[in-house]
Amino acid sequence: MYCAHELFACIGIYKLGKPIIKIKNISFPNINKLKKVLYEYKKFPVFSFPESIFNTLGQYIPFIIIASFAGSEAGFLFIAIRIMSMPVTLIGRSISQVYLSEARNKIEHGELHKFTKSVLLQLAKYCLPIFVLIALTAPVLMGYILGSDWSRVGIIMALIAPWHFFQIVSSPISMLLHVTGHQINALLMQFFGFFIRTFSLVISLYFYPDLLIEFFALSSAFFYFIYFLYLYYFASKEKLILPTQKL
């Protein structure tokens, strides 16, 4: 049966590849152009991979710590974050695509700061009232929606509302560091986020073991606030250029 499977696979590959084999003028990539592209974006594999590692660690290491020392609190936190992450993912991803499609053109014309300010103001204008409303009503509403045993989810949603507000405001412009070839800056920011979250939980374990989630929410809000300020400052630089303009 194994041999038959391999035989049919080979036949399928042959039939799919046959039209390509018949093509006479097959164009191969230009080596010089390929080298140029690799040089332009050489920082991506060097810094982007560890950046993603620290980003992942910053999200999951705190969960492991909280689950190890706070038990069921980790479950409440997980549900609260899942609920709060839905608007962040939906709105942030949509606006990120629009922002990135315009960013390169705005950089070339020296209009990035004005464009970024406009995007951030619009985001804050519409998102701030939503997150304020969530922070005020979630502690009561979640008890009715999920049941009285899950009312803690609503309290945690109120605690992490500032964190998610700054995250949703920062997310559209977070790729700006990559677009302009400053991957090392992005790496350092993600390392800072991982460090500040983990360190705050260690401090909480030693001095305030009953406030693990509160420390985690506060440190996450602080990180995204600093991240937001840094990205806004970075976008305001007058001499900001693209990697292709450095050659």
Q: What is the pLDDT of residues 95-129, one digit of tens each?
A: 777 777 777 777 777 777 778 778 888 888 888 88
155 token code pair:
């309290």
N- to C-terminal Cα distance for the chain? 56
Sign of CA dihedral 30, 32, 38, 40: negative
The four Cα atoms 51, 29, 40, 114 give a dihedral, to 10 degrees, of: -90
What is the rounded distance in angstroms from the CA atom of residue 216 to the CA atom of residue 199? 10
Long-range CB contacts for residues 62-65, cutoff 8 Å, separation at least 24: 62/197, 62/198, 62/201, 62/216, 65/198, 65/201, 65/205, 65/212
Cα radius of gyration rounded to whole Å, the chain = 24
What is the rounded distance in angstroms from the CA atom of residue 163 to the CA atom of residue 227? 11
Instruction: Report pLDDT for 214.
Output: 92
pLDDT digit string, tens, across residues 152-204:
888 999 999 999 999 888 877 777 777 777 778 888 888 999 999 999 999 99
Q: Identify the CA nearest to 154 among candidates 143, 139, 133, 144.
A: 139
Instruction: Report pLDDT for 220.
Output: 93
Instruction: Report pLDDT for 158.
Output: 92
81, burial (CB in 10 Å: exposed 0-12, middle 13-18, buried 19+): buried
What is the rounded distance in angstroms from the CA atom of residue 204 to the CA atom of residue 215? 7
**Mean pLDDT confidence for 70-78:** 85
225 token code pair:
């606030």
Share of the chain above pLDDT 70, in %: 76
Instruction: Report pLDDT for 243.
Output: 47
User: For the whole prediction, is pTM greater than 0.95?
Assistant: no
Instruction: Report pLDDT for 183.
Output: 79
